[in-house]
């Protein structure tokens, strides 16, 4: 966790954030609150987003072009969908300051490294980063400074990452309240395929299935969603562009993990078909332990129903 800000020198004198969606906007807010950044400059390709960023006062300055944004910045963070990152890297590359540290926040790392590094001039380092945090809302209005608190940010150093650059990017994320881990881009993509990408794919899929049924109306699905379905709709409401790009760019790991999921689901389907009560009970008991661990390490609330309004708090179970 960050030390008190007042006695620490800035990690970066000027941070340029390119792309002010949920993550970019939250980084801008966290950087200004964290006190380890001299100045925050924002740029977004959308005129409307730039105007909104200025209106919300998310950054010290809103730049009108990518070149203006990154000029003299010692840190540049690309907060754009994974599918756009190569183009954006090419756009900013000629304008990067010597010695600048470039980073990103993409949910896929192998393809980002491949897309970004060829464009970077000598002397510029690249430290791929992925904050494992988010909500189902998108755009600059969705940002909030506390988004990264107690969440993990994964750095996946590559050939273009110097040791010093990795240490500074780590310090920046720690100043946002995040915990930092490092792993290879390849391993990151496997881990996220099972903890994030396949869960999203399945959530999108069941919401689509429910919408297409003939025997059960959409109105019934919506009315009776409190039986479990509504839990899936949160992540199925995530940004479509971002998620399209995730699946296009982490294909192999997603297909591998989806294959495992389907293999297990076939076994479970057989248990249901042939009435294997013991098999069902064993699985359903085992899965409880995983949630307890997630709560125990502080990555989830212990409150019933995720703490949805109206549910009792964990301390008053009989209330």
42 makes contact with a copy of itself (CB under 8 A): no
Question: Using CB under 8 A, which residues numbered 234 to 263 contact a copy of itself?
Answer: 234-238, 240-241, 243-245, 247-248, 251, 254-255, 257-258, 260-262
54 makes contact with a copy of itself (CB under 8 A): no
184 makes contact with a copy of itself (CB under 8 A): no
To a copy of itself, the closest distance from the beta carbon of 182 in angstroms equals: 13
Nearest to 82 by CA among 269, 317, 239, 313: 239
The answer to whether the beta carbons of residues 70 and 16 sit under 8 Å apart is yes
Question: Using CB under 8 A, which of 71, 141, 160, 182 touches a copy of itself?
Answer: 141
1 makes contact with a copy of itself (CB under 8 A): no
Question: Using CB under 8 A, which residues numbered 65 to 94 contact a copy of itself?
Answer: 83
198 makes contact with a copy of itself (CB under 8 A): yes
Question: Using CB under 8 A, which residues numbered 18 to 37 contact a copy of itself?
Answer: 25
Question: Using CB under 8 A, which residues numbered 265 to 304 contact a copy of itself?
Answer: 265, 268-269, 271-273, 275, 277, 280-281, 283-288, 290-294, 297, 299-301, 303-304
CA distance linking residue 229 with residue 226, whole number of Å: 6
Question: Using CB under 8 A, which residues numbered 151 to 170 contact a copy of itself?
Answer: 151-152, 154
Rank residues 13 and 311 by Cβ distance to a copy of itself and give the closer one. Answer: 311
Question: Using CB under 8 A, which of 135, 162, 182, 184 touches a copy of itself?
Answer: 135
In sequence order, the β-bridge partners of residue 104 are 78
311 makes contact with a copy of itself (CB under 8 A): yes
Instruction: Establish how many alpha carbons lie within 13 A of residue 304's alpha carbon, considering only the half-sphere containing its beta carbon.
Output: 11
191 makes contact with a copy of itself (CB under 8 A): yes
């Amino acid at each position: 966790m960050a030390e008190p800000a007042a006695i620490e020198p800035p990690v970066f004198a000027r941070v340029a954030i390119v792309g002010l969606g949920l993550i970019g906007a939250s980084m801008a807010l966290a950087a200004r609150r964290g006190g380890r950044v001299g100045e925050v400059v924002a740029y977004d390709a959308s005129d409307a987003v730039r105007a909104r960023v200025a209106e919300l006062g998310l950054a010290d300055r809103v730049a009108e072009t990518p070149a203006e944004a990154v000029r003299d910045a010692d840190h540049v963070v690309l907060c754009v969908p994974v599918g756009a990152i190569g183009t954006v890297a090419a756009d900013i590359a000629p304008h990067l300051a010597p010695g600048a540290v470039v980073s990103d926040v993409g949910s896929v790392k192998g393809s980002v490294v491949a897309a970004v590094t060829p464009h970077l001039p000598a002397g510029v380092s690249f430290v791929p980063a992925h904050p494992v945090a988010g909500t189902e809302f998108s755009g600059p209005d969705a940002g909030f400074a506390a988004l990264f608190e107690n969440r993990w940010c994964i750095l996946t150093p590559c050939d273009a990452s110097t040791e010093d650059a990795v240490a500074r990017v780590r310090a920046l994320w720690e100043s946002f309240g995040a915990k930092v881990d490092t792993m290879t881009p390849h391993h990151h993509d496997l881990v996220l395929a099972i903890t994030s990408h396949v869960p999203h794919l399945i959530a999108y899929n069941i919401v689509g299935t429910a919408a297409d049924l003939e025997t059960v109306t959409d109105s019934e699905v919506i009315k009776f969603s409190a039986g479990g379905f509504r839990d899936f709709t949160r992540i199925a409401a995530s940004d479509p562009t971002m998620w399209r790009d995730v699946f296009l760019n982490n294909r192999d790991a997603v297909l591998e993990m989806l294959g495992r999921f389907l293999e297990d689901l076939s076994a479970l389907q057989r248990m249901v078909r042939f009435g294997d009560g013991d098999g069902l009970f064993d699985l359903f008991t085992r899965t409880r332990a995983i949630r307890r661990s997630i709560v125990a390490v502080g990555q989830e609330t212990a409150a019933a129903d995720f703490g949805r309004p109206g549910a009792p708090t964990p301390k008053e179970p009989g209330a």
